[in-house]
Structure 1
Amino acid sequence: MTTDAFHEHRALLTGVAYRILGSASDAEDVVQEAWLRWSAVDPAKVDDPRAYLVTIASRLSIDRLRSARSRRESYVGEWLPEPVSDIPDGAEQAELADSVEFALLVVLETLSPLERAVFVLREAFQFPYAEIGEVIGREEAATRQLARRARDHVQERRPRFEADRAARRRITERFLRACMEGDLDGLTGLLADDATLVGDGGGKAKAPLRVLEGASKVGRFLAALPGNADRFLASLGLGPTVAWADARTEVTEVNGGPAAVVSLGGRVVALVVLDVADGRVQHVYLVANPDKMSRLRTPGPS
């Protein structure tokens, strides 16, 4: 009975933890710890297993996020969320899928741990304010205030995605092709004048240590990637038998939206996610840290 109750809500717990943490591996650790705590509880004394388990997982996620924020101060370069090919909770509803979009997770990184937990529980999963207050140990009025502050913050900074996902996919395909060909004109033609690029190599792969700003700077960096491929491959420990010309590429769904995935030697080596608005690329997110690639499917032949 205890096991059945936990497995009934496991996907929900994983989804909550991933959205709060931005890391699938950390979310899995949280769910495992939640199971250990649940298995030590007498289920007959729990009126609402779902609420009880969400409370455990949320509190564990908040604690882990606070610890992670401290560790990330020594992270090499910029930190980006860990991408996933499959939404952790298997969400099919558009609202729930939107809440795991990669660019939104980037914005959620700017919230405090409590604000982020409240935002996730309210905006993604529609938990009542009173129930969220019990999770975070706040009165309902204070919880509403936290939720309002978090929502205003996210709305102010949330990327203005192109409404048509098909258009986003087409632009991502053109962008990927221009990157792989080193086509500077093609890239700058797609970039907004004030475009930015955030790279995450984690000190384990070649990537910009600081945010690049402006279409010219971003375009030049991306167009130079094919020419710098040997150094990039060497940083990943890929030997001379693996050549950039053998790279497989695909535009596929990552975190519920279109993204460009690049693989070499049977492993994903790079992910590019674009924030597209008004037909132009506003922000480029480049993930190359090999520790963050395990939840991505390897592309087929390009």
Structure 2
Amino acid sequence: MPGEFDLIRRFFHYPTSHTDLGVGDDAALLRARPGMQLVVSTDMLVAGTHFLPDTDPFLLGWKAAAVNISDMAAMAAEPRWITLALALPHADEEWVSALARGFRECCEGYCVDWIGGDTTRGPLNLCPTVFGEVPFESAVRRDGARHGDDLWISGWPGMAALGLAQLQGQLQLVGGWAESCLDRLHRPLPRVALGIGLRGIASAMLDVSDGLLGDLSHILERSQVGAIIEETALPLEPLLAACKITERATAALLGGGDDYELLFCVPREKRGQVEALSRHFELPLHRIGRILDKSGLWLQRGDGVCEALAARGFDHFVAAKTPD
């Protein structure tokens, strides 16, 4: 059975492109570019909580990198470096090799240098830390939403939630939609280019990991505002095509997580700039509501009637998802 340092040498030691010193010493040496702020985030993945223990290790490696890189997109930052701390119940060389390939493939796709980490024996747990750069005072935070801003979401949120339901035997998706939804669950695509494109346009932004409503509540709380979501503007088309159940599709969109799409607020006068970004990146961007000057969250039905929504997503210490 290989030892810790043999695993590191064989599977976690890769050349870097913009790092002064990477794997092989007590620490890496990084050089931030002039005029940039460093952006740092850690997002842990724990077996049985964030992924099933029998998940394909290549896909798990990809996702571990992707969900952390997505945090850079959410801040309008450029991801540059990443580390991986890894706890393993045992040293399965084939499994570790596949994990490392998936992690590296995602990093290379986003020009991120893998600069180190740690391995130890223990319950299966992956803990990457990602480092990025953003021009000074250009990061898009959660606390900038203002009354009258449009509320936007990228892509097709909810597909990963349907994929998980299919995987757990709770739902039978139609035709080829199962493969598409499972791909969204296992291989999320961080919206880095969009996040960078929204510098100077978006007033507030985050990535949706724990459900649209729950993550929106963070923007509302930090910005001390409320919001109204328009039912007729929700991008339900692929979800309805996949499951044929309106209530299930709506619950997946509003309460499902793991898509890592960007949820962002933009002043109305900049609406055309968002539409231009959508065309440029060939990425659907949906205007689903607006920000209010009073606290609370509402859903405006197609008949104009508004109902209050509970803005609560997944909580690791309060096992609940919303809405039902």
TM-score, normalised to structure 2, is 0.27
> Higher helix fraction: Structure 1 or Structure 2?
1
TM-score, normalised to structure 1, is 0.29
Higher relative contact order (CA 8 A, sep 6+): 2
> Higher strand fraction: Structure 1 or Structure 2?
2
